[in-house]
Structures are given as structure tokens and as C-alpha cells.
């Protein structure tokens, strides 16, 4: 059922507004305090706070914070906060979310938020007896674990189960005890690590071995998020191509990734473009999400795409994704970083599970966006303008010269650093000449001469007849 209080995520023309106007439009949907506006515009993270977060701080590092529009997941609208440095990610997500909204549906689900804590036990006198004893003492192990986190237990979470696995390694046999912990709305690493550390002495006594590592596993395969998109092929109809051809192209692109790990890595990178942007924006641990996703993609011993695209007999395009999603709405930096707090408010999720479902859906939409453009116009057309701006900036352009240089490179279809430098030098030369003319006029106090006709921009290699 749609949430009555969820604001619409349709923001027509949002991309054409200035940053200030976008903030006004956002504030009309999610009330923003003066402090939050200040944080977004001026100081996302105060250096004093950064200094409390990690060691050896010498400053803060800024990244764009954007909002992707048009998302409707499980019949509820979401504005998706995204922090990402790569151009086109946000625009592509919002564009494809709109197509799906108009021609299809996104649904998502998740498992209980269960993380795995691993305890490695070595130097065992009798590995098999040790394994059996751990399983026999399951209840005692769970009780010790649950004494460590009364908050989690009171919230309905806590240690749920124990597993014991014998590993044959190049350093001899080892027993690995898995503690399965329902971490509710936390990412859970600290909570699980604390429990595993508290169990060390007891497990040593029980097994006669020596406990070595006690740490959460980032292959969080008991904490999965799933999303599904079903969309009519007409969603992809354009002047130059039929949507059904694009939909078939998306399925063929997926088949390519299933058969080829080189392609699968890029396929999954496209998924993570969306997921990471949301994970970073909400102050979550994106290394944990990345590690979990790629380990899960290789769980059968071969690296595979995390999503699968198919056509129904009626020709509708259906995509599905499943991956570990260890995200929190409490703990870590989620409540420390002011913009992460705001991002969670913009999203309006009620739990970490809901956040995980949204993240899976964003990943699948981002995946469809990339496959759609690859199967139609190719990735570069959509990327070009913003990419050209970045090339212009890295070549030294600033202010108005960014658009001047970028637009000229797009017109020429050659977006290159050397060309950006050349165009920039040309623009600077002309600006210098203009300044000189103005100075001369001021000096002479003579009436203004007619402005000279602007010279056409010259391309390399074509300067001479």
C-alpha cells in the first residue's frame, strides 16, 4: 500500500533549476532547517567532527550530494539521496526510474537482518569433537553473546544461532564458529565483533584450541535484499529505435555478462554505481557493501552478474537482483554525519531492511539504465556533456569557460584533455585581447569602437589552409 505521508518523488524540471531552487523544491517535500540548508550549501562536515571520526585529520573532502527523482518502489515514492563523483549516474537513475514508473513496476523484499560473526579456532587436539561440543553448547553460546548487547536484545534482535565448520587449510585443520546475529537497524559489525570477542575464552575452554580471529563476515549472505523490475518494452521506444529491440538488447547484454567474467565485472560496477552512491550518502560502510556484493557474485566459484534480465512470453522486460545488504540506519557514521542524517530523512525509511530494499532497487534501476543505453545509443552520448565539463575543469577551466569549452568539445565530438587545453588557451587569448581593447579605450577616453567579429574556434590540424 502506498504510504500516505510519503512525498511524491516526481520532480519535473528539477535538473533545470539552480542549486538554491532545487533546495527550495526539496524543502517543500522534506522540511529543511536553516542548519541543514547551511550544511548542504557550505559545511557538510565540520573539521572538528571529522577529527573525531578518524585519525590524523587535516581537512574534509567534498563530494556532490544529489537527489534522484521518480523512484516508486513497492508502490511508495522515494527521493534517493546520492553521493557520487561520476557524472551521469544520478541523471540515468532518475530517467530510468521515470520510464519504469510510467510503464512498469519496481518491487523489493529482504530477509531478516542477520549478520555472521566468525571465530577461528586453531591448534585443536580433536577438531571433530570440538565441532560437536560447540553445537551441543549452542544455547550457552547464545546466552553469552546476548549478554553483550542488551539494547539489541530489547529491540528484538540478538544472537540467533550457532554453526560450526571444519576447514582443512595449509596450516592444518581449523574450526570456524559462525554466530548468526539479528542486528535489527544496525550495519552490525561492531555489535557482532563484540559478541565474538566475548565468546573467545569460553570457546577455548570448550574446544581445547586457541581462538585467533573474531570478526564479522562481509559475505552477509543471510542478510539479502532483492528487487524486481517489470517494464513494458514501449518504455524504451525512441525516434531511432523500437523499445522491443532495446529490451532484447538488454537481455543479450545480460547473457554476455553471464558467460564472461570480464563483462560481469562491468555489469556489476554499473549496479554498484547506484548502490554505492546511496550507501555513501547515508553514511554507511561502502567497502562492506562492495566486498559483500562481489563475494556473493562469485559464490558458485565463478564471478557472475548480480542481476538477471529476461523477457516474458508477452515481451515485457523483467529484471531481478539479489545481493547482501549490510546497511544501517543507526550506528557507524549514519547518525554522526549531519548530511547522512539528512539523507535518511529525505529517504524516509523506517528500518534498515527498508533501506536495503531501496538500495537493491536503485542498483537494479542503475543497471537497467546502463544496459539500456549500451543496447541503444551507446554509453558515451548520455555521458558526453557532463564528462566534457569534467575534462574542461581538469584542463583548468573555471566559471563560464567550463561550459564554453565543454560545449565546443561536444559539438566537435572530441572530448579530450589536449583539445580542452587548446580551447581554453584560445578563450584566454581572446579574453586578454578584449581586456587590452577596453584598457586602450579607457585610456583614450575615445568613443567605443565597434566590437570586432568573433573569430571562429579553430580545430587542431586545421589551423593552416
Which residues of the shown chain bind ligand NAD in the complex (CB under 6 A)? Answer: 149, 151-152, 155, 157, 183-191, 193, 216, 218, 285, 288, 328, 330-332
Residue (of 14, 191, 11) closest to 113 by Cα position: 191
Residues 109 and 118: beta-carbon distance below 8 Å? no
Handedness of CA 330, 336, 340, 343 (dihedral sign): positive
Shorter beta-carbon distance to ligand NAD: residue 81 or 157: 157
User: What is the nearest approach in angstroms of ligand NAD to the Cβ of residue 90?
Assistant: 24
Residue (of 386, 352, 382) closest to 369 by Cα position: 382
User: What is the nearest approach in angstroms of ligand NAD to the Cβ of residue 119?
Assistant: 14
User: What is the nearest approach in angstroms of ligand NAD to the Cβ of residue 336?
Assistant: 9
Angstrom distance (rounded) from CA 83 to CA 79? 13
The residue with its CB nearest to ligand NAD is 331
Shorter beta-carbon distance to ligand NAD: residue 271 or 288: 288
Q: Is 245 helix (H, G, I), strand (E, B) or coil?
A: helix
Cell 504510504, located at residue: 3
Shorter beta-carbon distance to ligand NAD: residue 183 or 306: 183
Residue (of 308, 334, 309, 311) closest to 323 by Cα position: 308
Shorter beta-carbon distance to ligand NAD: residue 224 or 246: 224
Q: Which residues contact 418 (CB under 8 A, 6 or more apart)?
A: 460
Within 10 Å of residue 350's Cβ, how many Cβ atoms? 11
What Rg, from alpha-carbon coordinates, does the chain have? 27
Shorter beta-carbon distance to ligand NAD: residue 279 or 376: 279
User: What is the nearest approach in angstroms of ligand NAD to the Cβ of residue 322?
Assistant: 20
Shorter beta-carbon distance to ligand NAD: residue 104 or 331: 331
Within 10 Å of residue 161's Cβ, how many Cβ atoms? 15
Task: Pull the grid cell for residue 167.
Answer: 576447514
Residues 388 and 409: beta-carbon distance below 8 Å? yes
Residue (of 452, 381, 451, 388) closest to 423 by Cα position: 388
Angstrom distance (rounded) from CA 73 to CA 2? 9
Active site amino acids: 86, 269, 285, 383
User: What is the nearest approach in angstroms of ligand NAD to the Cβ of residue 328?
Assistant: 5
User: What is the nearest approach in angstroms of ligand NAD to the Cβ of residue 182?
Assistant: 9
Angstrom distance (rounded) from CA 347 to CA 343? 6
User: What is the nearest approach in angstroms of ligand NAD to the Cβ of residue 159?
Assistant: 12
Within 10 Å of residue 354's Cβ, how many Cβ atoms? 22
Q: Is 122 helix (H, G, I), strand (E, B) or coil?
A: strand
Phi, psi of 87 (to 5 degrees): -70, 155
Shorter beta-carbon distance to ligand NAD: residue 178 or 316: 178
Angstrom distance (rounded) from CA 122 to CA 176? 9
Q: Is 177 helix (H, G, I), strand (E, B) or coil?
A: strand
Shorter beta-carbon distance to ligand NAD: residue 190 or 390: 190
Q: How far is CA 360 from CA 98, 295, 334, 366, in A?
A: 17, 16, 19, 10
Residues 340 and 331: beta-carbon distance below 8 Å? no
User: What is the nearest approach in angstroms of ligand NAD to the Cβ of residue 59?
Assistant: 21
Task: Pull the grid cell for residue 292.
Answer: 559483500
Amino acid at each position: 500500500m502506498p504510504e500516505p505521508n510519503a512525498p511524491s518523488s516526481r520532480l519535473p524540471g528539477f535538473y533545470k533549476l539552480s542549486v538554491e531552487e532545487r533546495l527550495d523544491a526539496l524543502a517543500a517535500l522534506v522540511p529543511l532547517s536553516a542548519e541543514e540548508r547551511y550544511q548542504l550549501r557550505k559545511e557538510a562536515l565540520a573539521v572538528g567532527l571529522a577529527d573525531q571520526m578518524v585519525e590524523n585529520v587535516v581537512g574534509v573532502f567534498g563530494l556532490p550530494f544529489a537527489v534522484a527523482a521518480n523512484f516508486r518502489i513497492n508502490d511508495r515514492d522515494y527521493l534517493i539521496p546520492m553521493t557520487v563523483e561520476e557524472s551521469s549516474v544520478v541523471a540515468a537513475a532518475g530517467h530510468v526510474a521515470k520510464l519504469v514508473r510510467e510503464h512498469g513496476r519496481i518491487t523489493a523484499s529482504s530477509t531478516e537482518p542477520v549478520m555472521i560473526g566468525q571465530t577461528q579456532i586453531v591448534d585443536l587436539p580433536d577438531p571433530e569433537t570440538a565441532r560437536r561440543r560447540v553445537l551441543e553448547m549452542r544455547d550457552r553460546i547464545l546466552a553469552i553473546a546476548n549478554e553483550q548487547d542488551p539494547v539489541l536484545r530489547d529491540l528484538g534482535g540478538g544472537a540467533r544461532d550457532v554453526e560450526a565448520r571444519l576447514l582443512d587449510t595449509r596450516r592444518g585443520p581449523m574450526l570456524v564458529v559462525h554466530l548468526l546475529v539479528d542486528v535489527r537497524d544496525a550495519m552490525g559489525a561492531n555489535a557482532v565483533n563484540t559478541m565474538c570477542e566475548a565468546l573467545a575464552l569460553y570457546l577455548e575452554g570448550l574446544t581445547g584450541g586457541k581462538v585467533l580471529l573474531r570478526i564479522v563476515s562481509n559475505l552477509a549472505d543471510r542478510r539479502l535484499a532483492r528487487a524486481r523490475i517489470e517494464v513494458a518494452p514501449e518504455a524504451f521506444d525512441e525516434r531511432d529505435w523500437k523499445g522491443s529491440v532495446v529490451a532484447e538488447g538488454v537481455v543479450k547484454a545480460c547473457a554476455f555478462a553471464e558467460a564472461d567474467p570480464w563483462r560481469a565485472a562491468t555489469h556489476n560496477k554499473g549496479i554498484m554505481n547506484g548502490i554505492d552512491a546511496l550507501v555513501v550518502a547515508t553514511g554507511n560502510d561502502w567497502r562492506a557493501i562492495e566486498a559483500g556484493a562481489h563475494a556473493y557474485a562469485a559464490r558458485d566459484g565463478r564471478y557472475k552478474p548480480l542481476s538477471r534480465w529476461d523477457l516474458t512470453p508477452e515481451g515485457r522486460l523483467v529484471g531481478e537482483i539479489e545481493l547482501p545488504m549490510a546497511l544501517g540506519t543507526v550506528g557507524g557514521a549514519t547518525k554522526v554525519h549531519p548530511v547522512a542524517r539528512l539523507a535518511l530523512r529525505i529517504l524516509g525509511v523506517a528500518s534498515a531492511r527498508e533501506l536495503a530494499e531501496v538500495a537493491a532497487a536503485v542498483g537494479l534501476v542503475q543497471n537497467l539504465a546502463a544496459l539500456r543505453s549500451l543496447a541503444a545509443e551507446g554509453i558515451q552520448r548520455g555521458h558526453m556533456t557532463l564528462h566534457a565539463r569534467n575534462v574542461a575543469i581538469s584542463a583548468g577551466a573555471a566559471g563560464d569557460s567550463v561550459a564554453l569549452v565543454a560545449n565546443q568539445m561536444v559539438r566537435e565530438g572530441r572530448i579530450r584533455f589536449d583539445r580542452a587545453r587548446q580551447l581554453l588557451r584560445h578563450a584566454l587569448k581572446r579574453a586578454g585581447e578584449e581586456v587590452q581593447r577596453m584598457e586602450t579605450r579607457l585610456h583614450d577616453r575615445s568613443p567605443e569602437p565597434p566590437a570586432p567579429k568573433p573569430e571562429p574556434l579553430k580545430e587542431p590540424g586545421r589551423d593552416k589552409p
